[in-house]
Amino acid sequence: MSKKKYDYDLFVIGTGPGGEGAAMQCAKHGMSVAVAETYREIGGGCTHWGTIPSKALRYAITSTMTALKNPALREMGITTTPSLEQLKRGTQAIIGRQVTMRQSFYDRNNVPIYRGHARFVDEHSVSIDGDEPITAETLVIATGSRPYRPAGVDFDHARIFDSDTILDLDQKPISMCIYGAGVIGVEYASMFRNLGIKVNLINTRSKLLEFLDDEIIDAISYHLRDQGVIIRHNEMMESITGEDDGVVLQLKSGKRVKTDILLWANGRSGNTDDLGLQNLEVVANNRGQIQVDEHFQTVVPNIYAVGDVIGVPSLASAAYTQGRAAGMHILGQADGNLRLHDIPTGIYTSPEISSVGKTERELTEACVPYEVGQAQFKSLARAQITGQTVGMLKILFHRETLEILGVHCFGANASEIVHIGQAIMVQPGAQNTLTYFVETTFNYPTMAEAYRVAALNGINRLF
């Protein structure tokens, strides 16, 4: 019996959503698969430093502060100020459940996990912490990303944080400055303002979250300011100085901002600097990101890359789908792109933002004759019952064919609501039409009813 040429059919570096997606897709189709993980527990940055802990903390803050503002509790004389330590208490339990669940996936599918730092020896082999090389026919890089740390900023200072270390904050500051107003910066600005912290949000661009629909941008900007967040646009850092009693941010415009702490939220870097890429033809860019084709192959055909390490959209949801798509291509199912053009945004501000499809700006530039249907949450019975009346649903559709071109939502549960529109948008031909929402009966009272309200509003605009 001849010896197998490689130890495994597939070796995956990283156990975040991208790595897990690729490993499970291939393992379930009979390939021998193994993975490597540097951290002591599986799950990647998504589970331990990013999505799960930040969203768990957000939920704890919003639900607790909403409850404390309830008039019934006030009338009973219940007033308290929860500490950050109390609000974070449940987060580790949630992370633990995620790790246990994901470990079971690898165990059930007989995928061994190598603990340690993997580095490429050549295009078919990796070494874990310098040990004997492990060989594989195909490899997937799913090493994720970390906060970008520019030279000249002292991240060892007790008052200077990035989006990973901010989750270790124990004492609630009176004021904070957030440098960078992308998704992470805006989410944390909203979260910490809900705790009563004075927040300065420094944006290096002319408007917040420029990739969103303009009306949604206006709405989140208004509500952040209405909550008391100070937003400064078109600003660039000159220097950041940590002092005993605070942090001073010197801006190139001449402005100076001093707050108790500073959160750096301006960009991320792919985790490729210690991956042994010098032993391959794969070259990462200046942000540590790897270029791939539509099948997630690098310039070395048997090496793929998925997730944050390839750059935008840098979403946990997208990473998992990318991993599965790469796995399908490895299996010979080249058509398995898994609707990667159809990734919704989900931004967990208060209220949430979510969208899928085209914006009004894009449709106008493309000269597409579209119309708008809107539903204000304040008119929905369910929103009135829950008291979450801030927000709107907006459907963009073709004036002539009624094809749905984009769905944009701002308000409570927006990241859930958007998927109803997404499901109709992907229907073939004439099945993707506004008529579906006009003719469909929705449970009452629900937030989903916003689709019927918005559809009727849009139909009424036609002539």
Give residue-wise pLDDT tens across range 72-81. 777 787 777 7
Longest dimension (CA), the chain: 80
Q: What is the mean pLDDT of residues 314-325?
A: 94
DSSP conformation letters of 15-46: -SHHHHHHHHHHHTTT--EEEEESSSSSSHHH
Count other Cβ atoms within 10 Å, centred on residue 282: 21
The CA distance from 88 to 148, in Å, is 25
The CA distance from 418 to 107, in Å, is 34
Q: What is the mean pLDDT of residues 99-124?
A: 97
Count other Cβ atoms within 10 Å, centred on residue 77: 6
The CA distance from 101 to 120, in Å, is 29
Percent of the chain with pLDDT strictly greater than 90? 88
| Cα 148 to Cα 73, 105, 181, 325, 351, distances in angstroms | 43, 31, 14, 28, 27
Q: What is the mean pLDDT of residues 111-134?
A: 97
Tell me what pLDDT residue 238 has. 97
Tell me what pLDDT residue 440 has. 93
Whether the per-residue pLDDT at 104 is higher than 60: the answer is yes
Q: Per-residue confidence at 2, pLDDT binned at 50, 70, 90? A: very low
Total-model pTM: 0.92
Q: What is the mean pLDDT of residues 12-31?
A: 97
Count other Cβ atoms within 10 Å, centred on residue 268: 23
Pick from 426, 378, 434: nearest CA to 403: 434
The CA distance from 145 to 228, in Å, is 31
Q: Are 19 and 296 in contact (CB under 8 A)?
A: no
Q: Please enumerate in sequence order all residues whose Cβ is within 8 A of that of 80, keeping only pairs 6 or more positions apart, or say none.
A: 68
φ/ψ of residue 443, rounded to 5: -55, 150
The CA distance from 124 to 126, in Å, is 7
Whether the per-residue pLDDT at 333 is higher than 80: the answer is yes
Mean pLDDT lowest for which of 77-86, 299-308, 384-393?
77-86
Structure confidence by residue, pLDDT tens digits, 62-95: 888 888 877 877 778 777 778 888 888 888 899 9
Q: Are 142 and 12 in contact (CB under 8 A)?
A: yes
Binding site as annotated, residues for NAD(+): 180-187, 267
Q: Do strands 391-398 and 370-376 pair parallel, antiparallel, or not at all (unpaired)?
A: antiparallel
| SS3 category, 264 | strand
Q: Per-residue confidence at 323, pLDDT binned at 50, 70, 90? A: very high
Structure tokens at 314: 């840098």
Burial class (CB in 10 A: 0-12, 13-18, 19+), 394: buried
Region of 333 (left: φ > 0; alpha: ψ -120 to 50; beta: rest) is: beta
Binding site as annotated, residues: 55, 143-145, 180-187, 267, 308
Tell me what pLDDT residue 75 has. 79
Mean pLDDT estimate for the chain: 94
The CA distance from 347 to 187, in Å, is 7
Whether the per-residue pLDDT at 407 is higher than 60: the answer is yes
The CA distance from 103 to 113, in Å, is 9
Tell me what pLDDT residue 73 has. 75
Query: What angle separates helix 17-27 from helix 316-330, to the nearest 10 degrees?
Result: 30
Binding site as annotated, residues for FAD: 55, 143-145, 308
How many helices (DSSP H) and strands (DSSP E) are in the chain? Answer: 14, 22
268-271 contacts, C-beta under 8 A, 24 or more apart: 268/145, 268/146, 268/147, 268/148, 268/308, 268/314, 269/145, 269/146, 269/147, 269/148, 269/149, 270/143, 270/144, 270/145, 270/308, 270/309, 270/310, 270/311, 271/143, 271/144, 271/145, 271/146, 271/309
In order of start, what are the domains of the chain with their CATH numbers?
8-146+269-330 (3.50.50.60), 160-266 (3.50.50.60), 351-459 (3.30.390.30)
**What amino acid occupies position 17?**
P
